[in-house]
Amino acid sequence: MFSNRYRIARILGEGSSSTVYMGYDRESEKKVAIKCINKTHSKEIEILKRLMQNEDKNENVLIPIEIIEQDGVFYIITESCECNLVEFINTYEIEEKNIVKIIRMILIGLHFMHRNNLIHRDIKLSNLLVKNETIKICDLGLSCFMDENKNEVCGTHEYMAPEIGKDAYSAKIDIYALGVVAKTLVCRAKEMELDSACVSEELKWFINQLLATDPTNRPSAFEALQQPVFDVLYRKMHNFKIIKEFSRETKYGKIIRKENYVSIESNFNKTVVFYEECCREEEHKMHDFRLCDNFRTSIKINDKIKTKDLLSNTELKYYNFLCGYIELLADETVIHTIDGIEYKFRYFLSRNWSYEARGITVKKLSDKYEINGREMIQFPHKLHNLREYIETLVNRSEKEIIRCNKNEYTLENRSNIELGIKTDNLINNAIYIRNVGWMVRKNMILLNSGLKIELDGMTVMNKEEVNYKNDREIINKIVRLFIEEARKYN
C-alpha cells in the first residue's frame, strides 16, 4: 500500500513504461487516476512538479493532485476523466461549433505549456482526455523544456511534424500535431480529404494553417487563439453602461451592474467587464455604442486582466452567461421613442423595435418579425408600404440616438431592474432558444413559435449537440414538425 489516502481499484491501461489505475481518494471521496512509473522517468516528474508549483493553474492540462514516491516508483495522482478523444468521437457525432470549441481548449492548454517553456511532443487523440465537457492534455512522458536539445525523434508517427528528424524543432511541432487532431475531428476517416469535409471554409483554412509544412508559416498557440474562427464561441456584450445599475442573485452567482462595470461573482469565480477610465464620453459618438466591443473595455477574472481569446472554457461560460443576461435586458431597454398621432414606435438597445398602431402591432425580434402576435421570418409583401415607413422610423431613431448620445436608459415598464421574475432557467432557455430554435423540458418540445409538442415519453437531453447521436429518430421528428410549422407562415 503506497498511501493510506488512496486505494487502487483496477487497471485502466498499460504502456511501455507506465501503468494507469482507477483509484479512490478517501479524503475527497472521489475517483482518481493513479499513474505508476519508475525512477528512470525523472524528467516527466520534474516537469509535472514544476506545473504543480505554477500559480496559474490551467484546466486544459492534466496537472497532478499529488506525486508520491515509494520503493523506486512514482505514483502520479490525477483527477479521473470520462474518456479520451478516440472514444469520444467514436461515440458522438460532433458538430462544427463543438469541434471549434475542442480545438480552442487544446490551444489554451498548449499556450499554457509553451508559456512555461515546455513542448509536449506527443499531442494525439488518445492523449486528450474529456471531463465535464472540458479537454485535458495528458501524458507528458515525452515532454521537454524548450532550451534542451531538440533533435530527438519522438512522438507518434502520423502526428509528427515534417521538420522532426531533419532540423532542430520548436513548440510549433505541437501545433502541427493539433492540426492532425483537428483534421481527424472534421474528416473522421483518414482517407478523406479536408476539402471534402462538410465544414465552413474558414475552419478548413484554419486547419491548413496548423498543418503548414514550413513551421515558420504555422501560428503559435497564442496567434491561433486570436483567429476569427473562434468568434462563434464568444457572445457579444451589449453596452451595459446604458442600463441602470442593478444587483441580481442567480444560480451562477451574483450579477451586479454598477458605475463603470458589470460583474458576476460566485464562490470560485469573479468575472468583471469594465470600461477603462480613459474611455471618454465623446469617443462614443465615433462608434456603434450598442456593443462593448466598440469601446475600450477589459475583462478581469479573479482580479487578473484577461483577453477573451485566453479565457478558459469555465471562464468563458461565466462570461457568456453574463453577456446573455445583459442581452436579455437589452431586449427590454428602450433607448428611443417616437410618439406619432396614431402610432407609437420604440427602439431597443438590442436593435429590435416595436411599432403599435390601431389594429396592428409589429415587433422586430432578432432575425424575425412578430405581427399581431404571429411570428414570421419575412415581412409580408402586402405590407411593404408599412415596412418602408417603419424603416424611416428606424433610421430616424438611430440618427437621433447618435446625436443625443444619452448615457443611461430605463427598462420598459420597470421602476427598477431587479427583474425578480426572470429566473436563471429563463435566462438559459432564452439564450438556448435564440441559438438553437427549440428546447426540451420534461418530454415537451418548445418551438420558437410557442408550439408545444409532446414526445410520447421520449426524452432528448438538453445539452450540447454532441449528445444527440442516439436520438436521431426524435430529431428527425422535430425537423418534420419544424417544416410543418414553417409552411403555416408561407
> Is residue 263 domain-shared with residue 326, that is, in the same domain?
yes
DSSP label at residue 148 = S
DSSP 8-state symbol, 243 = B
Cell of 76: 502520479
Residues 90 and 131 in one domain: yes
In a domain, 349, yes or no: yes
The b/e string for 66-91 (b: 16+ C-beta within 10 A; e otherwise) is eeeeeeeebbbbbbbbeebbeebbee
Question: Which domain, by its residues, includes 458?
Answer: 437-488
Length of the chain as a residue count: 490
Taking the C-alpha atoms of residue 238 and residue 289, their distance in angstroms, rounded to an integer, is 9
393 and 444 share one domain:
no
- 418 within some domain: no
Q: Cell for 31? A: 475517483
Helix (H, G, I), strand (E, B) or coil at 457: coil
Contacts 24+ apart (CB under 8 A), 421-429: 422/328, 424/250, 424/251, 424/252, 427/250, 427/321, 427/324, 427/325, 427/328, 428/321, 428/324
Residue type, 57: K
* Residue-level pLDDT, tens digit, the chain, 490 residues: 567 888 888 898 887 778 899 999 998 889 999 999 988 778 899 999 999 998 888 999 999 999 998 888 899 999 999 899 999 998 888 889 999 999 999 999 999 999 999 999 999 999 999 998 899 999 998 999 998 867 889 889 999 999 998 888 999 999 999 999 999 999 887 667 888 888 999 999 999 999 999 999 999 999 999 999 999 999 988 888 778 888 989 888 999 998 888 999 988 788 988 876 444 444 444 445 666 666 677 899 988 899 999 999 999 999 999 999 988 888 888 888 999 989 999 999 888 999 999 999 999 988 899 999 999 998 988 998 999 999 999 999 888 877 665 544 444 433 333 333 344 555 555 555 444 455 555 555 555 545 555 554 444 434 344 344 455 566 666 666 666 655 554 4
Verify that 138 and 271 share a domain, yes or no: no
pLDDT at 347: 93
Short-list 227, 106, 229, CA closest to 174: 106
Per the domain annotation, does 423 fall within a domain?
no
Of the three residues 304, 330, 356, the one that is the final residue of a domain is 330
Alpha-carbon distance of 79 to 65, in angstroms, equals 7
The predicted structure's pLDDT at residue 269 = 82
Same domain, 321 and 357: no
pLDDT of residue 425: 53
- 222 and 93 share a domain? yes
Q: Which three cell numbers stand for residue 73?
A: 516508483
Asked whether the beta carbons of 62 and 137 are under 8 A apart, the reply is yes
Instruction: Answer yes or no: is 35 a known binding residue.
Output: yes
Of 192, 227, 262, the domain-final residue: 227
Tell me, what amino acid is at 278? C
Q: Is 431 part of a structural domain of the chain?
A: no
100 is a domain residue: yes
Q: Which grid coordinates are listed for 196?
A: 471534402
Q: Does residue 112 sit in the same domain as residue 168?
A: yes
- Domain assignment of residue 101, yes or no: yes
Of the residues 62, 79, 96, the one at which a domain ends = 79
Are 87 and 220 found together in one domain?
yes
With b meaning 16 or more CB within 10 Å and e meaning fewer, what string describes 190-226? eeeebeebebeeebbebbebbbbeebeebbbbeebbe
Same structural domain, 246 and 345: no
Please report, to the nearest 10 degrees, the dihedral formed by the alpha carbons of residues 98, 104, 108, 109 taken in order.
Answer: 60
What is the biggest distance separating any 2 CA atoms in the chain, rounded to whole angstroms? 90
Q: Note whether 288 and 237 are within 8 A (CB).
A: no
pTM of the model: 0.78
Q: Do 214 and 345 belong to one domain? A: no
- Residue 92 belongs to a domain with what CATH number? 1.10.510.10
365 shares its domain with 312:
no
For residue 372, tell me if it sits in a domain. yes
33, part of any domain: yes
Asked if residues 339 and 272 have their Cβ atoms less than 8 Å apart, the reply is no
Residues 311 and 339 in one domain: no
Q: All 3 cell numbers of residue 446? A: 418548445
What total number of domains does the chain contain? 5
